[in-house]
Structure 1
Amino acid sequence: TVAPTTTTFTPDLETVVGRLSLDWDGNWFMGQLPVEAVKADFDLDPVLVGLINMENSPAGSFPEARVAIQAAADWVNSELGGINGRPIELVTCITDFSIEKSQSCAQEMVMAGVVAITTGIDVGSNGSLPILEQNRIPIVGGIPANMVEMKSPIAFYFSGATPGGYGGFIGHAIEY
């Protein structure tokens, strides 16, 4: 069940990082790494982070993204002490190139109580984003798969995807 909201939520980077670290105290998100490996305390409640990824579809399958994200979470838990000592636990949902499955994944994330979502590739995210926006669950990912992800106020990506690349190509062509 999705709780309706009447206000617009537009998180900024501090909000997203703060939500992931659970308090804005400048820990490893701000570049302060432990001098030596520190393990997360698995006796503490985990920080639930959602992972939505498209796999096993003839239209595209990206299991390597899920494997890499799990490896990153494992590394944070074993080397960086988790998030404020708490281990990261991924809540994974696999999509299949359909809007309906992406919508179902978003509903699973809401019910699980994740603090944020990371994605591999989710071409059907125009089904999931309205639910995530309503529930104020930010997305942090590598590459947006469609225009809905590029325009969402809760989505933060490290790449501009194809449109972002064109700007670089044009700038390079003008310069050279």
Structure 2
Amino acid sequence: MRAFRATATATTAALLGVVILSGCGLARPDHALVTFTAEATAGGSGPAPRDTSAPAPEPEPGAPSPPPATAETIVTVTRSGGFAGRTHTLSVSSDGSWTRRGAHAEPEGGGLLSSTQLGRLRAAVEAADFAHLSRTAKSGGTVFDGFTYTFVRGGLKVVTNDGSVPAVLTKLLDALPPFEG
């Protein structure tokens, strides 16, 4: 009974970890994972780890193809504040799909950019040159009831406010889908 509980606990913990990582976008098929087998290790201390990072065997002819790899996020922008104090986050992926989320990360909409819109957004993101932008851009005056923008690109984050948004980020904002639907 103890071995069953230990196995059940380890399995539950492993599944919970996968669910949490997939929600954060960290569990991807190309990342190495360690799973646990149901057999106990020598000494009965719990499940034995099994490396699953080895390449998968070639599919048999006529077998269904695996799902395509998920698209990479090009940019994520959160806009908060304003007169009503609302928060919305837009994330745009490399395939042109975009999602809009509310203050509590609840889905509020989404869509697919046209190839022209996606090209315009890609050009604006590249022109912004996130690696060389100040992490906090606050050069302008205060705009009462203005918005605060948080831009995230490739692990780099830039925070700015209305009245201080650099021109390169204004072009990026113009290329995004609407923050409200």
Higher helix share: 1
Higher strand share: 2
Tell which structure's C-alpha radius of gyration is larger: 2
> Fold conserved (TM > 0.5)?
no
Ranked by relative contact order (alpha carbons within 8 Å, sequence separation 6 or more), the top structure is 1
Please, what TM-score do these two structures have when normalized by structure 1?
Answer: 0.22
